[in-house]
Amino acid sequence: MLLYEQIRKNKVKTVFIVTGFVLFVLLVGAAISYVNYGDAIPGLIFTPIFSLFYVGIVVMSSTNIVMKMNRAQEVTSVEEHRFLWHTVENMAMVARVPMPRIFIINDLSPNAFATGLKPEKAAVAVTTGLLDRLSREEVEGVIAHEVAHIKNYDVRLSTVTLALVSVIAIMSDIGSRMLFFRSIGGRRDQNQNPIFMIIGLVLLVLAPLIAMLINMAISRNREFLADASGAELTRNPDALASALEKIANVETPVEQASSASAPLYFSNPLKKKVSGLFSTHPDPVERISRLRQM
């Protein structure tokens, strides 16, 4: 597949999935409202308001939260790590984005990630294992991949989708509690359609799982897009493929990585052998194959 064609298809797929995710959030809100009160309208009104408020708080503080969560230390001057500083600086220049803040995670497992609301507020973090185990060209490939996430606004996308997963989990929990207390009180709207009630109850139970699956699908798709964009920045897809191959073959997980921050990483930092719908990252073999064909 040609480079630009792959980038175009990945962008189209991402827009489609994200649109479906937003509609699903509204559907869950409507279902909770209907199950409890027999009217979906209040849920359709309240859900966007609550989602915008919650997502706004998460997004505004996302960079510092993620870096603290992963115990990353900021590199504040070129003297602290000249090679890493210049590599990030060069890739940012090629991508035509502001130079992101740089962080290092003291961990033997090679990996990296990017985060931030927008390119002007972005940050890149790499592990010490990445700097020690990979060649200069391979490190450059990984940095290009992360800078591509910033250029494509993937870091904002991943933060927003993660926040929406939390919104659905919170709403499902509140909706379940409301339904429980209403059932104890014996209150029920007799005008509720039994079919709609069943659909609403199923959504109430399965919504958090479905939201996680959608988030993972977005995460997998954005990795393909960043691979293609990163290869475009370096003009060296083989170096990125080689880096991915080395990182995928390391079985030691990143100690500070959590399930919440795992989708942000270049490669699955938890090293769990999960594939298909429940994987946060595409199969490394498929990613490497696509890069080798560029």
Structure-token match 């997963």, residue found: 165
CB 100 within 8 A of CB 123: yes
Closest CA to 147 of 18, 82, 234, 40: 234
Instruction: Output the DSSP codes for 209-227.
Output: HHHHHHHHHHHHHHHHHHH
Q: Give me the phi and psi of 274, to 5 degrees please.
A: -120, 135
The residue annotated as part of the active site, out of 138, 146, 223, 232, is: 146
CB 126 within 8 A of CB 199: no
Q: Which residues of 169-197 are buried (b: 16+ CB within 10 A; e: fewer)?
A: eebbeebbebbeeeeeeeeeeeebeeeeb
∠ CA 154-169-32 to the nearest 5 degrees? 120
Question: What is the rounded CA–CA span in Å between residue 50 and residue 28?
Answer: 13
Using the Cα atoms of residue 222, residue 17, residue 284 and residue 280 in order, give the sign of their dihedral. Answer: positive
| Catalytic-residue membership of 251 | no
Residue 173 token pair: 């929990």
Q: Give me the phi and psi of 40, to 5 degrees please.
A: -85, -15
Question: What is the rounded CA–CA span in Å between residue 60 and residue 175?
Answer: 27
Question: What order of strands is seen across the sheet that includes strand 72-75?
Answer: 72-75, 101-105, 123-127, 112-115
Positions annotated as catalytic residues are: 146
